[in-house]
Amino acid sequence: MKKILVPVDFSETAENAANFATNFLKDKAPDAHLILYHVYSSINLPSISPKDEGSRQRVSEHALEGLAKDLTGNGSIFISCVAEAGGFIESISDYVLANKIDLIIMGITGSSRIAQVFMGTNTLNVVKSVNCPVMIIPPEAKYNGLHKAVFTSDFKDVARTHPFESIKKILNMFNPELDIVNVDEDHYVELTNEYKIEKKSMEDNLGEFHPQYAFLRSFDFLDGISTFVESRGIDVIITLPRKHGLMSQLFKTSHTKKLAYHSSIPIIAIPQ
């Protein structure tokens, strides 16, 4: 049984991500286990009694249960609710490890400018710090099927640096039409021998998904990917968060932040 974790802070963005996750699982993995997960701050003050702490947990659990009831209104999947006290990244990292979570699904921004800062920071910190694939859901995204995926790769030392087992587990969850894309300003008509070698390694590992390959010549990585996504009707971007990869570029400049916060399609970041 697949275990899908949805962090919930009760913002509109988090609830939209929970809706997306629910519809995704109803469509592609109805036997999966969806876990709504909330972390509340632990307050160490003499005035806070164990009874007060227990009350905070019960309130959090009650709110999660209300969301779960709303999510299952149009069909049933297995949903459980977990509320814990602690620091967000530390708690979610420990929970993912202890419970063998297969995928985290969470939003990237909030309903206000302040919420954008906190939700965006939490999401990026999960991508950087938690050893689990993360599906990032843009604030306006609605689930309409994940039929076409693009996997972005730098095609550098593919056999050693690409976590193919993790990539295949994600692809097997929704079996999309797959494009594998590299963007580089040095591409011309003919691939170099180095790229041909790396492409062969990619084919050896992902050939079962019958991918199409595209090598795009562009001086701007994000422009190249964005144009490809739009022209091919892509539903989801799959990427590896590397120092010079999509995720590092995605959240550095105003242009890339705009893409992250306003893109209509999800991004799946798979750790190496």
Asked if residue 142 is part of any domain, the answer here is: no
**What is the structure's pLDDT at 122?**
84
- Residue 172 DSSP SS3: helix
Does 143 reside within a domain? no
DSSP 125-143: HHHHHSSS-EEEEPTT---
- 74 and 34, same domain (yes or no): yes
pLDDT digits (tens, 9 = 90+) for 166-191: 999 999 999 999 999 998 877 766 78
CA nearest 24: which of 156, 181, 175, 133?
175
Confidence check: pLDDT of 63 > 80: yes
Residue 255 has pLDDT above 50, yes or no: no
Same domain, 29 and 111: yes
Q: Considering the domain boundaries, does residue 25 fall inside one?
A: yes
Query: What CATH number has the domain bearing residue 158?
Result: 3.40.50.620
- 219 within some domain: yes
In a domain, 79, yes or no: yes
More confident residue, 52 or 139: 139
The distance between the two most distant Cα atoms of the chain, rounded to a whole number of Å, is 71
- Taking only the tens place, the pLDDT of each residue in 220-236 is 777 788 889 999 999 99
More confident call, 250 vs 108: 108
| Residue-wise pLDDT tens digits, 69-82 | 999 875 678 999 99
Q: Are residues 64 and 159 in the same domain?
A: no
- pLDDT for res 225: 84
Residues 98 and 163 in one domain: no
Range of the domain at 53: 3-137
Question: Is 204 contained in some domain?
Answer: yes
Tell me what pLDDT residue 191 has. 84
178 shares its domain with 129: no
Q: Of 249 and 193, which is predicted with more confidence? A: 193
What is the three-class DSSP state of 253? Answer: coil
Over residues 93-147, the pLDDT tens digits come to 999 999 999 999 999 864 444 444 445 578 888 988 999 999 999 888 899 999 9
Query: Are 55 and 170 part of one and the same domain?
Result: no
Same domain, 255 and 161: yes
Pick from 137, 166, 199: which residue ends a domain?
A: 137
The residue written with tokens 């209509």 in the block is: 264
Decide which of 78, 113, 137 is a domain's last residue: 137
Are 194 and 186 in contact by the 8 Å Cβ rule? The answer is no
Q: End of a domain among 137, 165, 193?
A: 137
**pLDDT exceeds 70 at position 204:** yes
Tens digit of each residue's pLDDT (9 = 90 or more) over 257-271: 444 555 679 999 898
Q: Where are the alpha helices (DSSP H) in 5-87?
A: 12-28, 50-71
Task: Indicate whether 40 belongs to any domain.
Answer: yes
Q: Residue 39 — pLDDT band, cuts 50, 70, 90?
A: very high
Three-state secondary structure call for residue 123: helix
Q: Do residues 169 and 247 lie in contact, with contact meaning Cβ atoms separated by under 8 Å?
A: no
Residue (of 121, 132, 110) closest to 2 by Cα position: 132
Q: Are residues 7 and 130 in the same domain?
A: yes
Q: Are residues 119 and 181 in the same domain?
A: no
- What's residue 263's pLDDT? 62
Average pLDDT over residues 22-34: 94
**Structure-block tokens of residue 242:** 């590397």
Same domain for 156 and 124? no
Element (H, E) at 76: none
For the chain, the domain total comes to 2
Strands (E), the chain: 3-7, 33-40, 78-85, 103-107, 134-137, 148-152, 177-184, 212-217, 236-239, 267-269
Which of 103, 159, 106 is CA-nearest to residue 131?
Answer: 103
265 touches 141 (CB < 8 A): yes
Q: Are residues 106 and 163 in the same domain?
A: no
Q: Does one domain contain both 200 and 118?
A: no
